Amino acid sequence: MTQAIVRPASENSPGYTRTDGGVALHCFCPSENSHPLAMKAMYSFTDVNEPDSGNLTLFPGSHRKQIPFGGDRLVSPTSPGSKQIMGEAGDSILFPHSMWHGPCVNKSGDLRKTLLFNYWQMFMRQYDFEITPAIAEWSFPRNRHLLGDLGYDFRPGSYFYEPRDQVEVTTGERPINPFKTPPPNSVSNETRLDPNDQNRAM
């Protein structure tokens, strides 16, 4: 999912704090060694060098805790443990879906503009799925992979079995088998990746 967000200056909007994925993922708390279900990349188009300027607010360490919800336990951008992020236009911030986050109040008098990219595990359906076919028509294989294209149409069992190797899907080449030791100083044409093909697929 990709979002472009413009937040106007307004002292009447105190901001909010949440995790990504809606109510369905409130109760999912990753363990210390688990991979995240999703990662978000936020690009700022606006300098945010002062507090209370619509800053992204994070709670360091909160990605390993369940966010309180319901009743009077709601978390806000001013709750203890919050940290307002400063930065300049062009900066990018990466954080997992389970990190407590959200915008704070914007008293700067200026708009805050951001672009968000959400990267989910392959088994999770993207929010803007209905526009995927139109974008996929002019995308490279790696881009289509990020949109959920696993390199084949749905078939019975797709929800339960591993998809084709994604290195092969995105580059068109077979990956090197990590369990097979090649002869010294030799790399076969079958496993050599052309850097130009890799760049085109990125």
- What's the confidence (pLDDT) of residue 33? 78
- What's the confidence (pLDDT) of residue 15? 92
- What's the confidence (pLDDT) of residue 165? 60
Place of tokens 């937040």: 7
> pLDDT truncated to tens, each residue of the chain (202 aa)?
678 888 899 888 899 998 887 776 777 767 777 788 888 999 999 999 999 999 999 999 998 888 887 666 689 999 999 999 999 999 999 999 889 999 999 999 999 999 998 887 766 666 565 666 777 777 777 777 767 666 666 665 555 555 566 666 666 666 555 444 444 444 444 333 444 544 444 4
Q: How far is CA 153 from CA 38, 54, 150, in A?
A: 24, 43, 8
Residue 191 CA neighbour count, 13 Å, CB half: 10
Q: Considering only the top CATH level, what class is 2-120?
A: mainly beta
| Letter string b/e over residues 151-187, b meaning 16 or more CB atoms within 10 A of that residue's CB | eeeeeeeeeeeeeeebeebbbebeeeeeeeeeeeeee
- What's the confidence (pLDDT) of residue 70? 67
Residue 146 CB-density burial (10 A; 0-12 exposed, 13-18 middle, 19+ buried): middle
Question: Where in the chain are the domains?
Answer: 2-120, 129-201
